[in-house]
Structure formats: C-alpha cells, structure tokens
Structure 1
Amino acid sequence: MAKVTAKNIFTLPEGRHSVAPNLNLRVRDGKRTYVLRYCIGGKRKDKHLGSADDLSLTEAKRLADKLRSELAEGKLPQTARDKLAEKLKEADAPTFEQYALEAIEKIATVRVWKNAKHRAQWFATVRAYAFPVLGKKKLSEIKREDVLAVLQPIWSTKTETASRVRGRLENIFSYAVTDGLMEFNPALWRGNLDRDLPPPSKIQVVEHHEAMPLEVLQEKISCFYPADTRTRQVILFTILTASRVGESVPARWDEIDWENRIWSVPPERRKDQKQYPHRVPLSDQAIELLNTVERKGEEIFCLKADDLGSRYSLAHLLQQMTGTTATMHGFRSTFRDWAAENGVPDTVAEKCLMHVTGNAVVQAYQRSDLLEQRREVMQAWADAVFAKLTH
C-alpha cells in the first residue's frame, strides 16, 4: 500500500493507498476516493469522504480528524453531505404506522399467504400493541427502548402474543433497514432484546391441546353417534380422519372420490403449504357417515359462523356434549398415541397427520404419500374408536 502524497495522488495505480491512520485513497475505474475505515459495534465500516477531485489531501486529513473525534465521543461520523441527506430523508420519512401497513402487505405477498385470518392477525396485533407506542414515530427515531416499551407490559402476562408481536416487528424493521430508513433492527432478539427480556419458554409453560384418552373417547363416542346433526357429523368426521378442523369443516363434496374412497384436502387448506392435495383414505365408518349427510350445498357440513360463533369453534360444543375439557385438536394426539402403542411406523403415522417427515434429503427421496399403508391404519383407527359402541 503506497503512501499518498500531493505529488503522486493522481498517478497511483488502482487499489488502496495510505493517506493517514485509517484513511485511504481508493483508486477504482479511474476514480479516486478518500475512505475512512472505522469499527463500530465490532463491525468494520468504510466512510466515503469525497473525491480527490473535490477534496485536497489536506482537507481530507482535516475531515478525517474531525470524524475520528466524533467517533471518540460515541457519535456516528457525518459529512456535510450526510447531514443534508439526513434532513431530506427526515422530511419525507414515513411514520411506523404508515410503513408497517405497507410492509405487512409486502410480506403477505412475498410469503404467498393464502390464509386471510393469518393476515388479519398480523394487522390486528401490530395495531393493538405497537401503534400506541410506535405509530407516530418516524422509523429513524425508533430505538431498542421503544420496542421494549411495546413488549415489556405484556411479556409476562401475554407471552405468546408478545413473542409474536416481537417477531412481526423484526420482520417489518428488516424491510426498513433494507430500504435505508433504519440503520439497525431494534426488534432483533439475539444480542439485543434478550438482554432485558427472559426467554418465553422460561416464563410460560407450553399448554398442549388437551387430548381425550382413547378409552374415554370410546366411551364418549355415543355423544356423536348416531351423527344426526351437522355438529356431530363434523366432529365425528374430524376424529375418523385425524384431521384439523381447518381442513374438515370446509370440506366439499367434490373433494370426495367415492370410487377410491379418498378425501383430497386442497393445497390452500394444507398447513404444510405443499402445492398438491393431501389424500386421506376413508374408512368404512367415514364412508357410512358421509352417506348420512344431507346435501345442502357445495360444502359437506355447511356450517356457518352463526352456528358456532366461529365456524371453527367446535371446542366449546365438544366440551358441552362430552362433559370433558378435551379439544378438537387433541384428537390428533389421541390418534398419534394410539398409533405409537399399536406399532404403526412413525413415518406412516406422521403422514396420516399431514406432518412433514424427515429432513430435506429424506423428503427429496421419499415422495410417496404411502396411501395404501395409511388406508389400513385409518381403518384400524376407526375400528378402535368404535370398539366399545353398543348399538
């Protein structure tokens, strides 16, 4: 690295050349630029001070000395051009409220969200918890302390919600950093918020959906059979197919292949986001159930929000009917426990539940959905469910 002087400044070859401590002349493509190299937060940064055509060697050294002094005082080094650009940016900079709404829409588009409820939850939580604190602030004004002001009041009392809010803020701010509106993402967890907030797992015991033991289910099956109401029909169908209510409640008649006894859950209702239907083999009991359902429309169960409060809120009705605290999702755990206790291979059991099995390599080679193996399992499961039913 050659030492730069007033005599050789315009004759030095391409590369970096030393001017003063941490100050170099960078020659690239015929352009000669003064660059101050410094470290902040353990990261090395380069500050462009200007062209050698505009700044003399003496002026460049003087400016570098001034910026070093600012760094020593804990300030970010700024040139006159930086300050002008900052003023212009501050004049047009959006508030968090303005930017967040656009960012969420962009995130939804990039991630190809198909679930309107998921999109609505993002908007709802950000509006409810972040807007009161951050809404009117310009993005460049938002600091780590502001994010803590959003999260700390709910971190211990609404831990799961608070954790989701933090993640959503991190995503929004990451776009702002990319767009040059923020220098740092103040919602990052590692090495940032984790210094003031305890891990969610340490302050909240994860509550799994309460599962009804198989023995209890066998005793309670008479609560759903004969399935002579829409509610009983959808609960029983969900149990027999070990499906999620988000898959079973909106099931349509055109998804049923009667000849091959298969229910095809379309991609838009697949939680694993695979872009092809999930085939569910139907047991004798599931076929019998479907044959008893009166056709009143394109959907099999034709449940409306007015019937349930929410078309997916079956848990309360289930608990009233059975006198238990079991949940609809808990029946999937009941199935999984039964499968493990009866020697069903893990891969087959997981595919029955529409779970991803194995790592990326395993998934690449194991493309079969093991339909026929699952057919035997789902029939055995249905038989077990009805084992103690007395007609």
Structure 2
Amino acid sequence: MVTMVKDSQTRISRVRSGGGQVVDDGEKPKVIKRNTLRASMIHKMPDGRHSDGNGLLLVVRASSRLWTCRFTDPLTGKRREISLGAFPEVSLTDARLKRDAVRVQIKAGQRPTPRIEKADASRSLRLWTERTHKAISRRLRHGGPNWPRLVELHLFPSLGDADLTKLSPRNLVEAMGPIWHSKPSSATEIMSRLRIILKHAAAEHSEVRADVVDRAVILLGHQGHKVQHYTALPHTEAPAAYQALGGRSIGALAARLLILTASRSRPIRLAKFSDFDLEQKVWSVPAADMKSGRAFRVALSDEAVEVVQTAMLITRSRTWVFSAREDRPIENSTIWTAISRAGIDCTAHGFRATFRSWCADTSVAYDVAEASLDHVVGTAVSRTYQRSDLLDLRRVVMDDWTAYLLAAPAPA
C-alpha cells in the first residue's frame, strides 16, 4: 500500500506502508555507488584509476595493479591517499575489508596507516631522516630546511616507524605507487633522498640495504615522464618584448632588470640598495640570494643603471629596491604579472634561455656566456687555477645585449 503525504512545502511524497521509507517525488535521492568492480575484471582493466566506491581505487599501470584508499585526514582536513597493497597479493575482497577498516579509524578520529613492522628508535626511517638531514645540512643551500619535507609527506604516513633493516622493495612500491606516475618529479626526488638516508643508516646498521630503492624502481616501472622546459622566447622577439615593458611600475622595472641582466627572479626580488655600486656599474649579489650559494657580481649596462635608479625613487622601502609594500620585497608573482600583462609569452626564467641563445648566435665565447648566467664551467681542477669571474668580458656582453634589446623600434 502506498500513502500520499503532503509536507509543509506542498511537496508530494509516497510512504510505503510497513517499511516507512519515504521516496521524494520532487527530488531523486543521491545514489552512492559501492562495490562497482568485479574480480574477473581486474586483469582486463586499462591503465588508469578505477573506483570501487567509498574511496577504494585500483591504480593500473601496465602490469602493475595497486589498491589505494582516498580519504579526508581527520587531523588536517586535507585529502590523502594511502596504499592498501598490490593485486593479486591483496584480493578485491581483502582490499574492501582494508578500506572499511580505514573508514572505522577515520570515524574514530584517527589517521589510518597500513600495518608495518615497527622498529626501535635506532632503526626507524623517522630517526634516520632527521640524522641524515643534520649530517648533510652544511652542503645544502641555507641548510636545506625543507629537505626532509617530501619524505615526511609521502613516506612517513606508512613507513615512518618502519624498521629499515627489514624494508623491502614491495613496501616502497606500495608507498610510492599512488604518486609514481601522477607526480613523477616528486617521486624521483623522494627516491633519491631515500637512497641517501639508507646509506647513512647502513653506516651504523650493516643489515640495511641501500639497493632496496633501485629494486623498487624496477618494480614500479618507467614513469613515461617528459621534462618540460620553461617557456622562452626566440631572441629575435626579445627586443619587442622588452620594450613592451616600458612602464614605470615596480613589477615592470623588476622585469626589465631581469631581462637586461639575465638574472633569476630571486636576486631581483631581494636586491637591496647596499648591493649596488652605480658609479662602477656593478651589482654585487650576496651568496644567500644566489642559487649556487656563491656571491656573484653582475655588470650593469647604462640602461640597467637607469632602471635601478628609477626603482630606487619609487620603491616603498628603504632596504629593498623593488618593494610594493613598506619593508617587504616583491613576490615572484609581481614579475610574472608584469610580463603577462605586457602580452609576453615567456616565463621569467625563460628569458635566461633567450639570452643564452642570443649568445650562441652572436658567437659570444662559451666561458663568458656561461659565466654571465653564473653557471659552473670546467672541472674542479681547472676552476682551481682559473679564478677570474670575467667581469670585464661580461660587461661587453651585457652592453651588446642591451643594445640589441633597444635596437628594434618600439611597437605601435
């Protein structure tokens, strides 16, 4: 029997007698699909991520099939994904049971993690990540405070307390599988850092095998990742691009100095009044602001000096040459926005490639061109003897580069 019920908003519903289930005729109930996969289908699945519902995913890459579970971390509110094991070692039924166990932990306000054999403090990944970071921090830029970050983010949830003497390639495959193809650059960097950590741990615990990383990489398979370089302009288009930045805004001035000096954006953003000797037309960049970690002198053309002088007049800081707020340097986005608004299809870093291509086409000496970009040239032995920074030769190059940028007529 079906009884018609009229609610306060004159919406008609049907109530089935006995069960008391209300079926709203005005709005269809949302159907949550669960258990959509079949065991017989798994071997035939194409590459991709296939949902079984309620957070359970089957990640297929060639012959690899890995179960993962997506969930919202109850401690941070962020979306996370953990490995539940590889098929066929973990069957569809087992994967669903593990998923349900994860959901129970989440409802209890706990962060779910796969079960692993925990180690005492002297053999855990967590401890050796910290020890390794301390050991190598002096050779990292500014101590590399973020060096452990990727390992902490992607390995600690499942392997942070793992016994490194019993770490297996399969453990790493399960931990890295979710990001091996979707985030290839990060995944490769994590494996590189893990090799270093395991080598340090092996120095104290001979049972630790550093080759476990290489074996895991073989099992994970080829990433199929193609390196994408920064977008750069052909140098023949550089003059028009530079002259399109003719405005006097802080962002436009910073972008112009970046192009004139072929510098990275960080030294430009953090340039201080005290770094410039405008009479000698030299910009001395502190080691802390350079990617190489070495102090670097930049030869300034007359046009570059004029840009710096203009910026010094309109900056809102007594410290920073390029500042849009009092006593704060500009952000990377300020330079990028100025370039974008000028209609230039090139990244800030891409202008370094534009400059280097111009050097090659105008027969600038290789050593001088590379030195202009603060690139290391030659072997360690040759650099021991050749200690000149080639400033005078680089000044000629920068003057010619500036003349090239100013030669074309400004766009109408």
**TM class, shorter-length:** 0.5 to 0.7
* Number of equivalences: 291
TM-score, normalised via structure 2 length: 0.64
Instruction: Give 1:4-153 correspondences, 5 Å limit.
Output: 91-109=120-138, 111-114=139-142, 118-120=144-146, 122-153=147-178
Match of 1:340 in 2: 360
Aligned counterparts of 1:99 and 1:333: Cα–Cα separation in 2: 39
Q: Secondary structure at the match of 1:280?
A: strand
Q: Secondary structure at the match of 1:114?
A: helix
List per-residue Cα deviations over 1:169-209 (Å, max 9, x = no partner): 111111111122742125543xx334324455xx1111111
The alpha-carbon deviation at position 219 of structure 1 amounts to 1.8
The alpha-carbon deviation at position 351 of structure 1 amounts to 0.4
Please say if 1:220 is aligned against 2:246. no
Percentage of matched positions with identical amino acids: 29
**Contact 1:147/1:186, CA 8 A, preserved across alignment:** no
The alpha-carbon deviation at position 105 of structure 1 amounts to 3.3
For the structure 1 residues 364 and 106, does the alpha-carbon distance in structure 2 shift closer, same or farther, using more than 3 Å as the test? closer
Give runs of ≥4 in structure 1 deviating > 4 Å.
Answer: 89-92, 303-308
TM-score, normalised via structure 1 length: 0.68
Match of 1:378 in 2: 398
For the structure 1 residues 90 and 150, does the alpha-carbon distance in structure 2 shift closer, same or farther, using more than 3 Å as the test? closer
Match of 1:195 in 2: 218
The alpha-carbon deviation at position 380 of structure 1 amounts to 0.7
Instruction: Give 1:303-322 correspondences, 5 Å limit.
Output: 311-314=331-334, 316-318=336-338, 320-322=340-342
The alpha-carbon deviation at position 96 of structure 1 amounts to 2.1
The alpha-carbon deviation at position 131 of structure 1 amounts to 1.1
**Contact 2:165/2:205, CA 8 A, preserved across alignment:** no
Instruction: Give 1:204-353 correspondences, 5 Å limit.
Output: 204-226=225-247, 228-274=248-294, 277-293=295-311, 294=313, 295=315, 296-302=317-323, 311-314=331-334, 316-318=336-338, 320-353=340-373
**Contact 2:231/2:346, CA 8 A, preserved across alignment:** yes
**Contact 1:249/1:303, CA 8 A, preserved across alignment:** no
Match of 1:367 in 2: 387
Match of 1:51 in 2: none
Instruction: Give the letter for the 1:107 counterpart.
Output: I
5+ residue gaps, structure 1: 1-88
Match of 2:80 in 1: none
5+ residue gaps, structure 2: 1-117
Instruction: Give the letter for the 2:319 counterpart.
Output: E
For the structure 1 residues 223 and 273, does the alpha-carbon distance in structure 2 shift closer, same or farther, using more than 3 Å as the test? same
Match of 2:186 in 1: 161
Aligned counterparts of 1:197 and 1:312: Cα–Cα separation in 2: 36
Q: Which structure is larger by alpha-carbon Rg, 1 or 2?
A: 1
**Contact 2:243/2:406, CA 8 A, preserved across alignment:** no
Aligned counterparts of 2:363 and 2:404: Cα–Cα separation in 1: 14
For the structure 1 residues 187 and 289, does the alpha-carbon distance in structure 2 shift closer, same or farther, using more than 3 Å as the test? farther
Aligned counterparts of 2:206 and 2:335: Cα–Cα separation in 1: 45
Aligned CA RMSD, in angstroms, stands at 2.7
The alpha-carbon deviation at position 340 of structure 1 amounts to 0.9
